Amino acid sequence: MEPVPSTFVELMDRFEARPCPAPSRRDPGFVELGARFDQALLYASAAHRQQPRKGTPVPYLSHLLGVASIVLTYGGNEDQAIAGLLHDTVEDCGVEHEPVIGELFGAEVLRIVLACTDSAVPAGQAKAGWRDRKERYLDHLRELQPGDAALLVSCSDKLHNAQAIVADLETLGPQLWDRFPGKTPADNLWYYESLAGIFTERFGGPLADRLSRTVEAMGSLHRGLT
């Protein structure tokens, strides 16, 4: 029996399956994602494989892919897209991932990941209280300089989360908030409204505008259901 190819590239070659060719004309700002992005996809999948989206059967990787997609849609580069895939790895999986991310993907990706992290503790160690972490994170965002690469990644993360909350409010109603034990709907609305204000001030542009509109829809929908 013929041995199984060790990589998908070998299998593609066997069947003469070719990648899509570059078009004759392509926007000069096109971001060509390389081997580092491929490795980040595998790293994110390995690190978050057992993790669901809060209170759902949905794999957490769906969020990470969604954030990377928003980053690229709004003009991000490869470092920012990689950071989008890994933005929750230190926060959710443990500070032990910090040196690994730095070694594999470089100092700038690690800096962006840490700028999107509201808690960096060893795996299994208790985090600080939710309100304290969120207030510190809001203060941290206010300290970032306009144009900082982390603002695009963080805003993409918050937009993807806000869109998910709005979608689930539409289908589940107020019971959606049961996914956030120890926090009231007012707590969550305070946080997202604060985020929207900061991104409008520090980042601006279509992505921040979209986040603001989504947060407004979240508040309006909640008030209409209660």
Angle of the 107-115 helix axis to the 97-105 helix axis, nearest 10: 140
Q: What is the pLDDT of residue 8?
A: 84
Q: What is the pLDDT of residue 1?
A: 40
Q: What is the pLDDT of residue 10?
A: 87
The list of the chain residues with pLDDT below 50 reads: 1
What is the pTM (predicted TM-score) of this model? 0.94
pLDDT tens per residue, range 136-166: 999 999 999 999 999 999 999 999 999 999 9
Q: What is the pLDDT of residue 3?
A: 55
Helix/strand/coil percent split, the chain, to 5: 65, 0, 35
Cβ atoms of 136 and 187 closer than 8 Å? no
Cβ atoms of 88 and 137 closer than 8 Å? no
Question: How many Cβ atoms sit within 10 Å of the Cβ of residue 155?
Answer: 29
Per this entry, what is the length of the chain? 226
Nearest to 68 by CA among 40, 100, 107, 99: 40
Cβ atoms of 126 and 85 closer than 8 Å? no
Nearest to 109 by CA among 132, 134, 81: 81
State how far the Cα of 106 lies from the Cα of 126, in Å rounded to an integer: 28
The full set of domains in the chain, from first to last, is: 34-225 (1.10.3210.10)
Side-chain-side CA neighbours of 170 within 13 Å: the count stands at 9
State how far the Cα of 52 lies from the Cα of 99, in Å rounded to an integer: 25
Query: Mean pLDDT across the chain, nearest whole number?
Result: 95
- Write the DSSP assignment of 129-183 as a string of letters: PHHHHHHHHHHHHHHSPTT-HHHHHHHHHHHHHHHHHHHHHHHHGGGGGGGSTT-
Share of the chain above pLDDT 90, in %: 91
